[in-house]
Amino acid sequence: MEHFTLNNGIKIPKVGIGTNTFGKIDHNFSAPINMETKELLDAFSNGYRLIDTAIMYRNEMVIGKALKETNIPRELFMITSKISARVEYIRDDNTIEGWLNNSLMHIGSYIDLYLIHHPSEQNEENLRLWKVLESYYLKGHFKAIGVSNFNIQQLSYLIKHATIKPMVNQIESNPANWNHELIKFCLNNDILPEAWGPLDPVPNKEVLSKIGMKYQKSWAQVLLRYQIERGVVVIPKSHNKDRQLENISIFDFKLAPEDILLIEG
Ligand SMILES: NC(=O)c1ccc[n+]([C@@H]2O[C@H](COP(=O)([O-])OP(=O)(O)OC[C@H]3O[C@@H](n4cnc5c(N)ncnc54)[C@H](OP(=O)(O)O)[C@@H]3O)[C@@H](O)[C@H]2O)c1
Q: Which tens digit of pLDDT belongs to each residue from 77-94?
A: 999 999 999 999 999 999
Query: Which atom number of ligand 1 is nearest to the Cα of residue 236?
Result: 19
Query: What sign for the dihedral angle of Cα 46, 49, 50, 53?
Result: positive
Q: Which distant-in-sequence residues (6+ apart) come within 8 Å of 160 by Cβ?
A: none
pLDDT digits (tens, 9 = 90+) for 53-62: 999 999 999 9
Output the pLDDT for position 184.
Answer: 98
Boundaries of every domain in the chain: 3-202+234-240
Residue 157 catalytic? no
CATH 3.20.20.100 fits 3-202+234-240, yes or no: yes
Per-residue pLDDT of the chain (265 residues; tens, 9 = 90+): 999 999 999 999 999 999 999 999 999 999 999 999 999 999 999 999 999 999 999 999 999 999 999 999 999 999 999 999 999 999 999 999 999 999 999 999 999 999 999 999 999 999 999 999 999 999 999 999 999 999 999 999 999 999 999 999 999 999 999 999 999 999 999 999 999 999 999 999 999 999 999 999 999 999 999 999 999 999 999 999 999 999 999 999 999 999 999 999 8
Q: What is the CA radius of gyration of the chain?
A: 18
Nearest residue (CA) to ligand 1, atom 11: 18
Nearest residue (CA) to ligand 1, atom 17: 197
Q: At what angle do helices 257-264 and 205-215 cross, to 10 degrees?
A: 170
User: Is residue 113 a contact partner of residue 143, using CB atoms and an 8 Å limit?
Assistant: yes
User: Is residue 172 a contact partner of residue 148, using CB atoms and an 8 Å limit?
Assistant: no
192-196: strand order across its sheet: 17-18, 50-52, 78-83, 113-116, 145-148, 168-172, 192-196, 233-234
* Residue 142 DSSP label: B
Rounded distance, CA 167 to CA 220, Å? 27
Cα–Cα separations (whole angstroms), residue 163 to 2, 12, 92, 133, 258? 30, 22, 20, 11, 42
- Amino acid letter for position 236: P
Cα–Cα separations (whole angstroms), residue 130 to 26, 62, 91, 241, 265? 35, 26, 14, 36, 37
Rounded distance, CA 212 to CA 42, Å? 25
Catalytic residue among 48, 57, 89, 137: 57
pLDDT digits (tens, 9 = 90+) for 13-72: 999 999 999 999 999 999 999 999 999 999 999 999 999 999 999 999 999 999 999 999
SS3 of 62, please? Answer: helix
Rounded distance, CA 204 to CA 256, Å? 18
Nearest residue (CA) to ligand 1, atom 41: 238
Output the pLDDT for position 265.
Answer: 86
Residue of 237, 241, 245 best suited for mutating to test ligand 1, as the one with most atoms within 8 Å of CB: 237
Whole-number Å distance, alpha carbon 251 to ligand 1 midpoint, is 20
Taking alpha carbons only, the member of 158, 167, 160, 172 closest to residue 129 is 158
Taking alpha carbons only, the member of 12, 236, 9, 234 closest to residue 112 is 12
